Structure 1
Amino acid sequence: MRRAPLRSHLITALLAPILLLTLAGCEDTPPAGTGAGFAGLGESAEGFAQARPGTPLRFPEDHGAHPDYRIEWWYLTANLEDDTGEPMGLQWTLFRQALSPPNETPPTASQPPGVWVADQLWMAHLAISRGERHAVAERFARSHSADPIRDRTGQAGAVAQPFRAWLDDWTLATRVEEPDADTFERLTLTAFDGEGESRIGYRLELTAEGPLVLHGDAGFSQKSADGQGSMYVSQPFWRVEGEVTLDGETHVVGGQGWLDREWSSQLLGPEQAGWDWFSLHLDDGHRLMAFQLRGGGEAGGDYRSGTWITPEGEPRALAPQELSLTPLASSRVAGREVPTRWRLEVPSADLDLIVEAPHSERWMDTSVPYWEGEVVARDHDNDERLGTGYLEMTGY
């Protein structure tokens, strides 16, 4: 789910009609169609590869793009503190959506690959949060699956080795120079928008202090009782250091990050209207990913799943019945009621948490809007602070 399963956060990139109009320079954007499921993620994807149990994952190849799948994202969130101890949150996401299956409309001599012959749409989101302030930027690009992206000259793309994912000058790229090393272990994220007092962005160094985590069944994350799902991998062990610029002021920051990688062709069932996704860094070193898709469960109920991760990075998949996610309080945000206080229970891990957003104004007013922001996890019984993380909510 970016989570998110969806994570989110995100998914925006999936609205091809809207993006086509936006990328073509239209001034007016029509309202999104209802589609099948949230943002059309339940639509049939005939001709594309399907995420299935037993699909082998291969690294470093799977750090790069998968144009044979319809949708994909690279999704980073981070809980940071600046040099005064003030909490800050950030998000950076790169989304890719294919408009047609590979080779369905190949380029020709008269129409070579390029910005006007596109079968891939790209979207990137940047967000920074500090106190009540929540700043957001969004960019779009297009490409063709036949573009020679390995020369890294296109407007957007993602290459596995050496790793680089980018849209214009917003770039997530390796800092590893050794040719035989894992170039996903140390990354630099650079993304800025605006000028002067309105400038926002960051330059950050990410260092992995634990292994990649495969969710679900060896990387296949089921999203409904009917079997739809995605290939889902996370790096929840990032140490993050660098500088963040907000409203023209630059802050030295440090903290923890979580990066999700998902690719799929039909992520949801048609009746699923949205999701709630949590990623938590607990103070004892454990990590937790948990989500529920509203609808798509047995007898029409919600579908839940998650992963309990040890400090050493060993994952344990959580079945739907092992998780309980209960909204306790809502906030009025962007003209709608959004649940910003939750009870999250995982009895098998002896976990009973209250997860709450310290600030409710974390609305992503992007092409397809959603809520994404920092949360604090506390013990349900004694209110002891146990960790921090991020929450993403769509379809409200």
Structure 2
Amino acid sequence: MNGSGPITRRGFIGGALLAGFGGRAFAQGFAGLSESADGFAPVVPDRTFAFPGDHGPHPEFRIEWWYVTANLTDARGIAYGIQWTLFRQAIAAGGAQEGWANQQIWMGHAAVTREDTHRVSQTFARGGVGQAGVAAAPFHAWIDAWEMRALDSMNDENIAPCSLKAAGADFSYTLRLDAERPLTLQGDGGYSRKSLREQASYYYSQPHYAAAGILTIDDKPIDVTGMAWLDREWSSQPLAADQSGWDWLSLHFNSGDKLMLYRMRQNDGQHYSSGKWIAPDNTVETLGSDDIVMTPLIVTQVAGRKIPTSWRIAVAKMALAIECRPLNPRSWMGTSFPYWEGPIRFEGSHTGVGYLEMTGY
């Protein structure tokens, strides 16, 4: 204690979360995700996914997230982005303990982005006391009053329709998410490698959401519509000790195609890349490091860091050559584990919108 006053419950929870992720975060990879996973379940190939069960938590694994991003516009054509994320972190392996002894720590991030502003909120909770959690059926993910919840007619194979809401001090949003197309298993049947070694996650997405609702900034409500993307991922050790973070994109093409790709940055410069192209007829093309070329174009000074906020992306086998530019280059998530996350536009061989996330800078 530093003598500055009594610690609050939320301050205690936040401190516990920081301890759980590891104070050596950036020395050992973004948010300590390269630390040893001894005692936690391993990620292995050939897992059979089952829904709705896999929409719920997997506490035997160390880390997990439910991650929604949306590219939206209002009636005047003004562009917005929203982010809603629920993270689960196990601070110790073993069977679940009750109440405040529960090993699960929860963290929520919410953001709203416009060309001239980027608003961020963060909240923490301890598992076992009802403040946060996820139920698989009917699906409900929540932390405090933030939630992603199944509507009455939800299809477990689509995880739609759902409602989504969050609020910060100077923004809020409530959206409905609909999808007629099924989920996509990323990587090899949901087994997503993060290096040529054993680092991997279980990973699936719903890239086909149509979103509509109300976004409020500074007490001014705005009707918005657009496209949203859900990522579900869990692992026990997604980074290797020589990896510092990742650059990840989700892209909605005006043609109806979708593309997810990422680059795991390695200290020796031999970065590991992966991706999946999803055609309008739901056929997929898996992409590897030899297929993907990601070249930074513009570096922005944000929060004392140099962040590559514009990129050239090339995938020759798909005849893709695009340049991605941010809606707001200062889309910095100044949270306990800071990172850059924001909506982008792209043009070139293909056009559209999407989201860019960069960690570990």
Return the TM-score normalized by structure 2. 0.91
2: CA distance, partners of 1:351 / 1:186:
32
Give the alignment of 1:1-396 within 5 angstroms.
22-24=11-13, 32-34=23-25, 36-103=28-95, 107=97, 113-114=98-99, 116-144=100-128, 154-177=130-153, 184-194=159-169, 198=170, 200-295=171-266, 301-379=270-348, 386-396=351-361
What is the CA-CA distance between 1:369 and the residue it aligns to?
0.6
One-letter amino acid of the counterpart of residue 274, structure 1:
G
2: CA distance, partners of 1:260 / 1:190:
17
1: CA distance, partners of 2:279 / 2:124:
37
What is the CA-CA distance between 1:358 and the residue it aligns to?
3.2
2: CA distance, partners of 1:182 / 1:321:
32
Gaps of 5+ in 2: 1-8
What is the CA-CA distance between 1:313 and the residue it aligns to?
2.5
Q: Which residue is 1:9 aligned to?
A: none
2: CA distance, partners of 1:329 / 1:361:
13
Does the Cα contact within 8 Å between 1:212 and 1:313 map onto a contact in 2? no
1: CA distance, partners of 2:226 / 2:13:
39
1: CA distance, partners of 2:357 / 2:158:
28
Distance 1:222 1:287, change over 3 A: same
One-letter amino acid of the counterpart of residue 118, structure 1:
N
What does the per-residue CA deviation read over 1:61-92, in whole Å, with 9 as the maximum and x for residues that have no partner?
A: 10000001100000000000012211010000
CA-based RMSD: 2.2
> Secondary structure of the residue that 2:281 maps to in structure 1?
coil
What is the CA-CA distance between 1:182 and the residue it aligns to?
5.2
> Secondary structure of the residue that 2:351 maps to in structure 1?
strand
Identity among equivalent positions (%) equals 44
> Secondary structure of the residue that 1:23 maps to in structure 2?
helix
One-letter amino acid of the counterpart of residue 358, structure 1:
L
Paired residues, number: 349
What does the per-residue CA deviation read over 1:225-263, in whole Å, with 9 as the maximum and x for residues that have no partner?
A: 113110010000000000001111110000000110000
> Secondary structure of the residue that 2:101 maps to in structure 1?
coil
Distance 1:23 1:341, change over 3 A: same
2: CA distance, partners of 1:306 / 1:182:
22
Does the Cα contact within 8 Å between 1:161 and 1:183 map onto a contact in 2? no
Higher strand share: 2
Does the Cα contact within 8 Å between 2:10 and 2:124 map onto a contact in 1? no
Which structure is higher in RCO with an 8 Å CA cutoff and minimum separation 6? Answer: 1
One-letter amino acid of the counterpart of residue 220, structure 1:
Y
What is the CA-CA distance between 1:23 and the residue it aligns to?
3.3
Does the Cα contact within 8 Å between 1:234 and 1:260 map onto a contact in 2? yes
Does the Cα contact within 8 Å between 2:248 and 2:358 map onto a contact in 1? yes
2: CA distance, partners of 1:256 / 1:177:
20
1: CA distance, partners of 2:114 / 2:318:
32
2: CA distance, partners of 1:137 / 1:355:
26
Gaps of 5+ in 1: 1-19, 108-112, 148-153
